Structures are given as structure tokens and as C-alpha cells.
Amino acid sequence: MNSIKIHFLGASGTVTGSKFYLETPELNLMIDCGMFQGLKELRQLNWSTLPIDASKIDMVLLTHGHLDHTGYLPRLLKEGFKGKIIGTAPTLAVTRIILLDSAKIHEEEAEQANKEGYSKHNPALPFYTIKEAERTLDLFQSKEKDEWITLSEHIRFKYRYNGHIIGATFIELEIYGKLFVFSGDIGRLHDDLLDAPMRPKYADYLFVESTYGNKLHPKEDVESILSGLIKTTIHERGNLIIPSFAVERLQSLMYLLWQMYKKNKIPNIPVFIDSPMGNNVLSIFEQFPHWHKLPMNEYHAMCNHFNIITSYADTWKTIDDPRPKIVIASSGMVTGGRVLTYLKQLIDVASTSVLLVGFQAEGTRGRQLLEGAHELKLFGKYHPVKAKIHHLESLSAHADQSELLDWMKDVDNIPETVFLIHGEPTSLDAFSVKIKDVYGWKVHIPKLNEVRGILI
């Protein structure tokens, strides 16, 4: 008998901070290495040293490039990690963009906090620097999907296509003949840019994301809702601000607006794309055409249609532009990025509309706006919310409860345990009940920093 220890170091009892550490007799592996986002007590956990010896981790396997799955990697190096960081080629390309952008934001925020004196820390330090992020990139090693990769005598793994964002996969990890399946984030069955996720056929231990484990995405007429918002924006000579995740949602929104314009469903209103990271991600679609459904001629025509902002000076020119306009800026949960500058100037203007798309985690400004906050704290100061707030949940890149159940339906055996991860408590509880009712499988909801021993 061999023993494996699984440490649930993130995305356990909460959505973000994905980190799962497996100690085996042959190798020590980490699946994903993300940052916590949202509630202050979660964000503060990012600054705590992990309760494991990072120098003993042999490799990190990434499911995809999002910050809550990759953003802790430079800190892991500071804690002593020297192993390999493995992902698909587009995942590593996205991760590179996200880490460098994140480091730049960390440095800028620390600099601004020190200049304006709104941090409790003196001096305020960046979570990690651009140099530290660059050192992380040296450990990257890309692997193809759908191929078994041997890591040691009794351990191998395979990446399987998962939709969600470009490059995203779930992981089939075989250890001493037992199959551990880590879902990562599961995409939608129907997506304008990406194919439907593949499904696992077998799993002894199944680790499943539960972001929307208690919800079905509404059947919304997205084009009609967007068209109405744009007409109102033009009529009121206002601004429609769409905070967007730089990876996938930005590109999906661009494609949607481009298609609507081509079909004469919206007028030729100026659309500004203000997301340096999102612009870089656009180039990944050109670099990896086999990972998405967007034809290259459509890609180029779409990019030419929009005003793509590259400099911060142009951000201010856009704010001062008196024309009715649409601004798509990151980040999607209003936690940082260029969108904060727009909201600081325009959130207290009644002719402003803010359209939230996708999941808004607890403790984020996006969640506050969604729940009717009358004021928003931006750069250390409170600003009254006079803008109209709207939400389009059906544009989420995450599978809903029905799609999550569909993703599991081809599993032929009865898993020994299904671990529910990446969810808030109400979502985890509801999804646990649903899986037991539908499949009769044993479900466990791990707590943060729980350690689970498995004999195989």
C-alpha cells in the first residue's frame, strides 16, 4: 500500500486561490497555484507563507492561466520552489501575460499607496515585482493535450480540453494506477469562441469546481439587452462601462458587439477596449488558431473595428471624450486594472451604465455593485454610486449546475470520493446534494488547509 497526502491550500470553501498539493512516494505535485481574491480576510491569506515546504514541490501542473489559478507562482519561488511549471502552450502564454501584468499593477499600487499615504504599511510593498514574475517564466515547460506525460515510474498525467478560456484543460493524473481528475474551471457547452469541454470517462477521485453549483444561467436575450443598453447610452449621451475579465470575456464581448454591428442591430457607437492585458491575450488567439473557433479573417476585421487603447494617457482622453460610448476595461470583478479609473470619474454620473458580466466573488467591488452598494471605495476614497448597474450572467465562462452535471455524466465507474472545490458555501452545499441525488456518489467538501490521506 502507498499513501498520498492531499493538502487543500486554496479554492476550498471559497472560489479563488486554487492550490492543491499532493505528496506521493515518488513526487510532490501542486495542481494550480492561484491568488485569493474577494473578501479582505481571503486577500490577506495571500501574504501568509504556505503551510508546506515549497522547496519540496517537484512541479506545478496548471489547468489554465487565470490569476486565481496562477497568480501565486512568483511567491512560490520566493518560498523556495525550484521545480517545473507545466501547462499547455496557450495556458503558459496567458499565464505569462497575467503574471507580468499583475506584477506591474502590484508595483504601481504600492507606489501610489506610498505616494498618497492610504496604506497601513510603511512602506507598502508590492505582492511581487516584475523581476520576480520574470524569474517565474524561466520554469515554464509546455505539454500537448491528449497525450500521457510520464513524470516518474508510477505517475503520469494527461491534459484534456475544457473550454472556459483559451488553453484551459482538466487534468487526469494517474498515481499508482488510481486516477485523480482535477476539473480546473469547466467551460460552457455553447460558446461563441470555444468548443464544448471534453468529459472524463473514469475517475477514482474527482475534484470538481462548483462556482455555479447552485445556479442555472438564465436564458437571456443577450443581443436585445445589449442593444437596449446601447440605445439608452446614446439617448442619454452617457457611458456604458463594461468591466471585463481580460482573458476570454473581453474577446467574447468584442465578437458579440462586432456581430451585432455587422447585422445592423446596434449603431456605430465608439467602442474603446482599455485592457493592456486583454490586448495581449488577443494576440494569443492569432498564435493558437486551433484552440478556438474564431476565423482569422473575422479576428482581424473585429480588431480593426474597435478603438484599442494602449497608453494610460489615452485612458484619460477617452474619459474626456464627450461622445456617448462603450468602454470595456479590466478587471471583471472590479478588483483592479483600468476600469477603476473610469469608475472613479464616472460612477457618480446618472447617465453612466455599468454592465457586469460573469461571476462576482464575495468581497469584490463587482459584488458590492451587484448587491446595490450606494458608494464604492476607489483608490482610498468613497464615491457615491449614481450609475445604473446591470448584470448579464449568461455571458459567464463557467459551466452552470446543469453543465457541471453534464460534464460528469460519462464517468463509467463510481468514484471513491468527489471533492467539491471552487465554490462559496451555499453553492457547495447545494451541488453536493444534487450530485448525491443524481449520481449517488460520495461527496466531500474540504475546508481550507485540510489534509486528506489516501491509501492506494
Q: What is the pLDDT of residues 356-368, one digit of tens each?
A: 998 888 889 999 9
Q: Where are the alpha helices (DSSP H) in 85-142?
A: 89-116, 130-137
Q: d(Cα 253, Cα 151) in Å, to the nearest integer?
A: 39
Q: Which residues of 19-31 are buried (b: 16+ CB within 10 A; e: fewer)?
A: bbbbbbeebbbbb
Q: Are 72 and 46 in contact (CB under 8 A)?
A: yes
* Weakly modelled stretches of the chain, pLDDT under 50: none
How confident is the model at residue 119, as a pLDDT?
Answer: 66
Q: Where are the alpha helices (DSSP H) in 168-322?
A: 222-235, 249-262, 276-287, 296-305, 312-320
How confident is the model at residue 393, as a pLDDT?
Answer: 83
How is residue 57 annotated by DSSP?
-
How confident is the model at residue 14, as a pLDDT?
Answer: 95
Assigned C-alpha cell, 43: 486577500
How confident is the model at residue 109, as a pLDDT?
Answer: 81
Identify which of 153, 137, 127, 3 has the alpha carbon closest to the alpha carbon of residue 62: 137
> Can you spell out the DSSP letters for 400-437?
-HHHHHHHHTT--S--SEEEEES--HHHHHHHHHHHHH
Residues pairing with 455 in the sheet: 3
Q: Length of the chain, please?
A: 456
Q: What is the pLDDT of residues 402-436, one digit of tens each?
A: 999 999 999 999 999 999 999 999 999 999 999 99
Identify which of 394, 389, 391 has the alpha carbon closest to the alpha carbon of residue 354: 389
